[in-house]
Amino acid sequence: MGHPLLEVKQVKKHFPVKGTIPFVPSRQSVKAVDNVNFHVMPGETLGIVGESGCGKSTLARLINRLISPTEGEMNFKNKDLVSLSKRDLRTVRKNIQMVFQDPYASLDPRKRVGQLIEEPLVIHGVGDSVSRKRRVAELLEIVGLNPRYQNRYAHEFSGGQRQRINIARALTLNPELIICDEPVSALDVSVQAQVINLLKDLQKQFQLTYIFISHDLNVVRYMCDRIAVMYLGKIVEIGSYEEIYHSPKHPYTQALLSAIPVESPYENKERIILTGNVPSPIAPPPGCAFHERCPFVMDKCKTETPPLIETTEAHRASCHLIKKEEE
Amino acid sequence: MGEELLRVEDLFVEFKTGSIVTKAINGVSFSLHQNETLGIVGESGSGKSVTASAAMRLIPNPPGRITSGSIVYKGQDISQLNESKMRKLRGNEMSMIFQDPTTSLNPVFTVGHQLMESIRIHKNLSKREAKQESLRMLELVGIPAAKQRLKMYPHEFSGGMRQRVMIAIALSCQPQLLIADEPTTALDVTVQAQILALMKDLQREFGMAIMMITHDLGVVWETCDSIIVMYAGQVMERGSVRQVYDKPLHPYTWGLLDSQIASDQNSQEVLPAIPGSPPDLSFDVQGCPFADRCPYVEEICRESKPARVAIEDGHEVACHFQTDTSELTRKEEANIGASATGS
Amino acid sequence: MHNETASDRELLYEEQYKRAQKEQSFMRKLLRNKLAAFGFFVMIVLVFTAIFAPWIATHPPHQMDVTRTLLGPGEMGHLLGTDSYGRDTFSRIIYGARISLIVGVAAVVFGAVFGSLLGVISGYFGGKIDAIIMRIMDGMMAFPFILLAIVLMTVFGQGLMNVIFAIGIANIPGFARVVRGQVLSVKEADYIDVTRSLGAKNTRIIFHHVLPNSIAPLIVYATMAVAGAIISEASLSFLGLGVQPPTASWGSMLQEGKDYLVLNPELATISGLAILITVLSINLFGDGLRDALDPKMKI
């Protein structure tokens, strides 16, 4: 195995909470991302799953450096993204692109599609206007849109077509890593499949590395080589997709998998129904953050935070049950 | 299944904005029985939500208008009923829950206030009785510490809890017909499982009919008895859930079934997708609206609109070529279609 | 095998698309609104009147004639009569349109440029800069406009330029607020994040994405502000703080007319009507503009 493309080490993002007294900073903070470690190998797809509020989108914005981490290190091709100067960051950004969830909000309504796709080239001063125009036409072709449409505005396209435009834009600068933040969850199923196929196809064609964030476990399973499950700002389980889907170790992963809707009217699913709500990320419960809702809770879980324990090679989960099994 | 509760016959709805007329619904027919759950499936713009609003006569006019067709509720045509009678019907007999639980509750009133308000509008109860009743409803939909929760505001609730409150409000007048417009789309999977289970339980308890509007076939398999598949404002196929699952007749239904990612989907294979996107309904659509995306399109499809044909009891399809499609040919053909679109 | 029919269909769609595009063009959308069309028409007439005043006016606007004072409309060849100095009311109204338009547009441009700049900085960067700028704007807004104008006039003296200057300054906080609010909402949009993630600098984001998306409400507000500025100019002139006599201005004509309200009510009425019609039609036009400028709105 080669060197990881991206290595995230002990990354934390805490958003300060507005205090009740004006001008007095509150000591509380929302721990959106709390001590997250993982790496991404070149050419692979890492899936990040979790429910709303688990910090997966914050993580995406951290890697893309739209926001800065409170603590931690993020090495992209051996350069720490956190300590880079503004200028160096701009060049690194050429290599990390992002596709956002909402295909309607992520395209400037006042710009023509051709201008939008050309913009990354303009920003980074690549080529002259003729070669840029050629690239735009080429990109539209690649994502399966008619280059004739480049003079139209984004709102004249359907959701799936817009997402194709977004993907074309992300491809413009030939990046190595693309972070897809729920790229298909706003699309209809039939269109969803088109966009997923496109993403897979592009990955092969351009040797792309993806970080694929989604709440749809079937989509993630189909897209990803490895999967990280997040709960309340932490990665609770990470491993290859076979491991995660066929022998999930963390009770939360198990509950998540059991909640996937059935696939036929004949199927009757045994469900782990979780009780209660996701606790507040301002004051997460002591010990394991999941213990209040866990069906297998033990005394130890209430006081001690379980570390990520390796169960097999490349499969780790943070749960006290694993130790117990071994014993 | 009980007796027929609602029958929609050849419904047409259009929206007019300026000089542009969008024909949102073009000849939709279906019926719904007591105790039955009907799934209305389709992509965005297929007219599924408009159909639901039309059934409750909630289409804003202008710009929307029911141009023809009948909506028969318990033997009475309500498509021309006046607004005050309709209002009575809406509260007491039918209610609706919406997709977004964040915006369907008023942020400036407590949950208890909103629940009590809806109870008192429809039932002649004193304040105290209404309070008792709302407490009972909140407990019914599985909200813990209901007494304290009554005094809380919507923003203090999680998304799933809010949807439970919405269900409590919708059920507070014991409706015979509950229309659920994508009730779990905005929710997380684990919460979705909870809410769907709750709705099934409550149906068993109250015996109401549910119209479940969704784009997620999994939700349909899980909760519904029968299904109508909508596309471009028309019903492409309707039947019982098992009929449609076992023997889908319309190419669009095949496409829809195939593009769901199954848990045993080989990730090396290209996903079968339906190429193209739905037609713009502000333009005239001639013939079959699916013709442009259909892998089996023939001349006739572009020329004439296919009529609805009953294949077996309760299983209908609107396609020119539905005569002999067994499960086998479907799979075969779908695979050909998939490899053709994937290239 | 169906290629031919498919491309035929595509052509048909293309045609339908183009027709829809035409339907949705800006001017069509604007003129479909009857009131806006009326406003637009009146404004065109007004602009022409102002430009070609020397050719339209029947008399020189400052020409006094003591033998022909306070004539009624139509008397002795004076279309709308004369004032107490025997000056032709019609011609003065025509020339007054010049003053009104110049002051209205120039003051608003002044206010818009500086106000928008402050608003963008304030909204985009936020934090302390925002707090400082907006508190200053609040202070300016709390200060009575007329008082502000009087102060400025006494400091800088009277005259057309200073009227423009005074009204322009008074307009700054309004523009700053409108633009700031717009920028605040635009800057939260996903496409701004996308652009930032592409590596764009702040200046590019502001001038290529934030400003163009904030411009529609700005234009609408500016149109309305022109109407407001015309009223302000008239008020200042009415109070004798505005354009200096004998220059014809609707405000000063109204002021002169008020002394003859009983005997010659048409003097005040005519200048008052001129202000009323102008302001009303600008506002109607502005309303129509708001709807037509929204690219997503189909009317």
The reply to whether B217 and B326 lie within a common domain is: no
Give percent of chain C with pLDDT exceeding 90.
17
What angle separates helix B251-259 from helix B327-342, to the nearest 10 degrees? 70
The last residue of a domain, from among B231, B263, B289? B231
The last residue of a domain, from among B204, B231, B258? B231
The reply to whether B10 and B149 lie within a common domain is: yes
Q: How high is the pLDDT of residue B342?
A: 39
Chain A CB within 8 Å of residue C127 CB: no
Does the pLDDT value for residue A98 go beyond 50?
yes
Summarize the confidence of residues C255-276 as an average pLDDT: 84
Chain C CB within 8 Å of residue B18 CB: yes
State which residue of chain C sits closest to A174, comparing Cα positions: C198
B-chain CB neighbours of A190 within 8 Å are: 43, 255-256, 259, 273-274
* Lowest-pLDDT range of A251-260, C95-104, C252-261: C252-261
Cα A182–A273–B213 angle (5° rounding)? 55
Q: How high is the pLDDT of residue C198?
A: 84
Chosen from C2, C16, C26, C291 to mutate, greatest number of chain B CBs within 10 A: C2
Chosen from A190, A216, A224, A273 to mutate, greatest number of chain B CBs within 10 A: A190
A189-228: string of b/e by CB count within 10 Å (b at 16+)?
A: bbbbbbbbbbbbebbeeeebbbbbbbbbbbbbbbbbbbbb
- Paired sense of beta strands B76-77 and B94-97, if any: unpaired
Q: Do A110 and C196 touch (CB under 8 A)?
A: no
Q: Do A105 and C189 touch (CB under 8 A)?
A: yes
Q: How far is C199 from chain A (nearest CA, A)?
A: 5
C257-286: string of b/e by CB count within 10 Å (b at 16+)?
A: beeeeeebeebbebbbebbeebbebbbbbb
CB C199 within 8 A of CB A124: yes
Q: Do B265 and A261 touch (CB under 8 A)?
A: no
Q: How far apart are CA B290 and CA B302, in angstroms?
A: 9
Q: Which of B19, B283, B292 sits opposite C23 (nearest CB)?
A: B19
**SS3 for A315?**
strand
Q: How far apart are CA B257 and CA B255, in angstroms?
A: 5
Q: Do C213 and A124 touch (CB under 8 A)?
A: no
Does the pLDDT value for residue B146 go beyond 50?
yes
Cα A140–A146–A150 angle (5° rounding)? 70
Summarize the confidence of residues C101-128 as an average pLDDT: 92
State which residue of chain B sits closest to A277, comparing Cα positions: B158
* Tokens representing residue A181 in the block: 């933040």
The reply to whether B191 and B302 lie within a common domain is: no
For residue range A177-222, what is the model confidence (pLDDT) as tens digits? Answer: 999 998 888 888 778 888 899 999 999 999 999 999 988 888 888 8
CB A60 within 8 A of CB A241: no
Q: How far apart are CA C38 and CA C128, in angstroms?
A: 45
Q: How many other C-beta atoms are found inside a 10 Å radius of the C-beta of residue C32? A: 16
Query: Chains with ≥3 Cβ pairs under 8 A against A?
Result: B, C
For residue range C191-230, what is the model confidence (pLDDT) as tens digits? Answer: 888 888 888 888 899 988 998 888 888 888 998 899 889 8
Does the pLDDT value for residue A26 go beyond 90?
no
Chain C CB within 8 Å of residue B19 CB: yes
In a domain, B244, yes or no: no
State which residue of chain B sits closest to C13, comparing Cα positions: B283
The reply to whether B188 and B109 lie within a common domain is: yes
Query: Chains with ≥3 Cβ pairs under 8 A against B?
Result: A, C
pTM of this prediction exceeds 0.90: no
Give C275 or C26, the one with higher predicted confidence: C275
Q: How confident is the model at residue C19 (pLDDT cuts 50, 70, 90)?
A: low
In a domain, B243, yes or no: no
Summarize the confidence of residues A127-147 as an average pLDDT: 90
Residue-wise DSSP of B52-108: HHHHTT---TTTEEEEEEEEEETTEE-TT--HHHHHHHHHHTEEEE-S-TTTSS-TT
Does the pLDDT value for residue B325 go beyond 80?
no
Does the pLDDT value for residue B190 go beyond 50?
yes
Q: How high is the pLDDT of residue A209?
A: 94
In a domain, B240, yes or no: no
Q: How far apart are CA A104 and CA A121, in angstroms?
A: 22
Q: Do C199 and A105 touch (CB under 8 A)?
A: no
Q: How many other C-beta atoms are found inside a 10 Å radius of the C-beta of residue B206? A: 14
CB B143 within 8 A of CB B164: yes
Q: How far is C36 from chain B (nearest CA, A)?
A: 15
Does the pLDDT value for residue A25 go beyond 80?
no
A-chain CB neighbours of B245 within 8 Å are: 264-266
In a domain, B236, yes or no: no
The reply to whether B82 and B124 lie within a common domain is: yes
Chosen from A123, A152, A166, A177 to mutate, greatest number of chain C CBs within 10 A: A123
Does the pLDDT value for residue A124 go beyond 60?
yes
Chain C CB within 8 Å of residue A58 CB: no
Q: Which of C5, C23, C32 sits opposite B302 (nearest CB)?
A: C5
Summarize the confidence of residues B173-188 as an average pLDDT: 84
A-chain CB neighbours of B191 within 8 Å are: 51
Q: How far is C8 from chain B (nearest CA, A)?
A: 12
Q: Do A155 and C296 touch (CB under 8 A)?
A: yes
B-chain CB neighbours of C16 within 8 Å are: 283
Does the pLDDT value for residue B1 go beyond 50?
yes
Give percent of chain B with pLDDT exceeding 70.
93
Give percent of chain A with pLDDT exceeding 90.
28
Summarize the confidence of residues B149-170 as an average pLDDT: 83
Q: Do A273 and B188 touch (CB under 8 A)?
A: no
The reply to whether B226 and B253 lie within a common domain is: no
The closest of A313, A225, B99, A311 to A322, measured between CA atoms, is A311
The reply to whether B69 and B137 lie within a common domain is: yes
Q: How far apart are CA B6 and CA B211, in angstroms?
A: 10
Q: How high is the pLDDT of residue C297?
A: 52
Give B286 or C23, the one with higher predicted confidence: B286
Q: How high is the pLDDT of residue C89?
A: 83
C2-29: string of b/e by CB count within 10 Å (b at 16+)?
A: eeeeeeeeeeeeeeeeeebeeebeeeeb
CB C81 within 8 A of CB C75: yes
Q: How far is C153 from chain B (nearest CA, A)?
A: 49
Q: Which of B18, B282, B302 sits opposite C299 (nearest CB)?
A: B18
Q: How high is the pLDDT of residue C237?
A: 84
Q: Do A264 and B221 touch (CB under 8 A)?
A: yes
Give me chain B's average pLDDT, please. 82
Q: Which phi and psi angles does A136 have, rounded to 5°?
A: -60, -45
CATH number of the structural domain spanning residue B33:
3.40.50.300
A-chain CB neighbours of B157 within 8 Å are: none
Q: How far apart are CA B227 and CA B240, in angstroms?
A: 6
Q: How far is B91 from chain A (nearest CA, A)?
A: 31
The reply to whether B193 and B63 lie within a common domain is: yes
In a domain, B241, yes or no: no
Q: Do B297 and C2 touch (CB under 8 A)?
A: yes
Q: How high is the pLDDT of residue A57?
A: 86
Beta-sheet strands, E only, within A142-199: 177-181
The reply to whether B25 and B132 lie within a common domain is: yes
Q: Do C209 and A108 touch (CB under 8 A)?
A: yes
The reply to whether B147 and B273 lie within a common domain is: no
For residue range B267-277, what is the model confidence (pLDDT) as tens digits? Answer: 778 888 888 77
Chain A CB within 8 Å of residue C158 CB: no
CB C277 within 8 A of CB C250: no
Q: Do A259 and B192 touch (CB under 8 A)?
A: yes
Contacts A–B by Cβ distance under 8 A = 118
Query: Helices (H), strands (E): how many in chain B?
Result: 12, 12
Chain B CB within 8 Å of residue C22 CB: no
**SS3 for C57?**
coil
Structural domain of B173: 4-231
Does the pLDDT value for residue B333 go beyond 60?
no
Q: How confident is the model at residue B16 (pLDDT cuts 50, 70, 90)?
A: confident
Q: Do A169 and C204 touch (CB under 8 A)?
A: no
For residue range A37-96, what is the model confidence (pLDDT) as tens digits? Answer: 999 999 999 999 988 778 888 899 899 888 889 888 899 888 888 888 888 888 888 889
- From the number of C-beta atoms within 10 Å of its C-beta (0-12, 13-18, 19+), residue A146 rates as exposed
Cα C244 to chain centroid, rounded: 22
Give me chain A's average pLDDT, please. 86
Q: Do C16 and B283 touch (CB under 8 A)?
A: yes
Summarize the confidence of residues B308-316 as an average pLDDT: 85
Does the pLDDT value for residue A320 go beyond 90?
no
Q: Do A110 and C296 touch (CB under 8 A)?
A: no
State which residue of chain A sits closest to B217, comparing Cα positions: A263
Q: Which of B20, B283, B302 sits opposite C23 (nearest CB)?
A: B20
The reply to whether B265 and B302 lie within a common domain is: yes
**DSSP code of C246?**
T
C-chain CB neighbours of B18 within 8 Å are: 23, 32, 298-299
Q: Do B20 and C298 touch (CB under 8 A)?
A: yes
Q: How far apart are CA B234 and CA B289, in angstroms?
A: 8
In a domain, B164, yes or no: yes
* Lowest-pLDDT range of A113-117, A151-155, B261-265, B307-311: B261-265
For residue range C129-179, what is the model confidence (pLDDT) as tens digits? Answer: 999 999 999 998 888 887 887 888 788 777 888 888 889 998 999 999 999
The last residue of a domain, from among B231, B264, B288? B231
Q: Do A110 and C213 touch (CB under 8 A)?
A: yes
Chain C CB within 8 Å of residue A73 CB: no
CB A5 within 8 A of CB A76: yes
Q: How far is B322 from chain A (nearest CA, A)?
A: 21
CB A234 within 8 A of CB A36: yes
Q: How high is the pLDDT of residue A326?
A: 57
**How many domains is chain B partitioned into structurally?**
2
In a domain, B242, yes or no: no
In a domain, B16, yes or no: yes
Q: How high is the pLDDT of residue A202?
A: 92
C-chain CB neighbours of B296 within 8 Å are: none
State which residue of chain A sits closest to B242, comparing Cα positions: A265
Does the pLDDT value for residue B196 go beyond 90?
no
- From the number of C-beta atoms within 10 Å of its C-beta (0-12, 13-18, 19+), residue B249 rates as buried
Q: Do B18 and C20 touch (CB under 8 A)?
A: no
Chain C CB within 8 Å of residue A66 CB: yes
Does the pLDDT value for residue B82 go beyond 70?
yes
Q: Do C20 and B292 touch (CB under 8 A)?
A: no
Q: Which phi and psi angles does B262 have, rounded to 5°?
A: -85, 160
Q: How far apart are CA C201 and CA C18, in angstroms?
A: 36
The reply to whether B258 and B227 lie within a common domain is: no
